[in-house]
């Protein structure tokens, strides 16, 4: 039996697409491209993004009235490993 179902794969691809779309948001559009960053810098940024995600998850004693903040931080936690892998592969 496969670990991931077709429905899950489809949902996860939608999440990945949403996380990539965040890169073109007005807030992120003008940031330095990851290809100009060292992998160590990206890894440290990933560590910070992980902390920000945890802060959102545990904010207000588990009351998640605004799930969009958690999703937004989750997108960042998807994107930074992608940047690292893309740089490892030579941005090709």
Q: Which of 9, 7, 14, 4 is nearest to 74 (CA)?
A: 14
> What angle (nearest 5°) sits at the alpha carbon of residue 10, between those of residues 7 and 11?
85
pLDDT at 58: 86
> What angle (nearest 5°) sits at the alpha carbon of residue 83, between those of residues 77 and 89?
140
Read off the pLDDT of residues 21-77 as tens digits, 9 standing for 90 and up: 999 999 998 999 999 999 999 999 999 999 999 998 888 666 667 788 899 999 999
Q: Range of 53's domain? A: 6-88
1 in a domain, yes or no? no
pLDDT at 46: 97
Number of structural domains in the chain: 1
What DSSP character marks residue 25?
A: S
The residue to which tokens 């940031």 are assigned: 31
**Sorting pLDDT into bands at 50, 70 and 90, what band is 78?**
very high
**DSSP H helices in the chain:** 6-22, 39-57, 67-88
Is the Cβ–Cβ distance between 45 and 80 less than 8 Å?
yes
Is the Cβ–Cβ distance between 80 and 42 less than 8 Å?
yes
35 in a domain, yes or no? yes
Q: Whole-structure pTM over 0.75, yes or no?
A: yes
């Amino acid at each position: 039996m496969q670990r991931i179902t077709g429905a899950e794969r489809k949902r996860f691809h939608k999440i990945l697409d949403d996380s990539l779309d965040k890169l073109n948001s007005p807030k992120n559009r003008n940031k330095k491209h990851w290809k100009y960053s060292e992998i160590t810098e990206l890894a440290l940024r990933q560590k910070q993004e992980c902390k920000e995600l945890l802060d959102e998850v545990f904010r207000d004693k588990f009351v998640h009235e605004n799930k969009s903040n958690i999703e937004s931080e989750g997108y960042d936690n998807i994107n930074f490993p992608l940047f690292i892998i893309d740089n490892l592969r030579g941005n090709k």
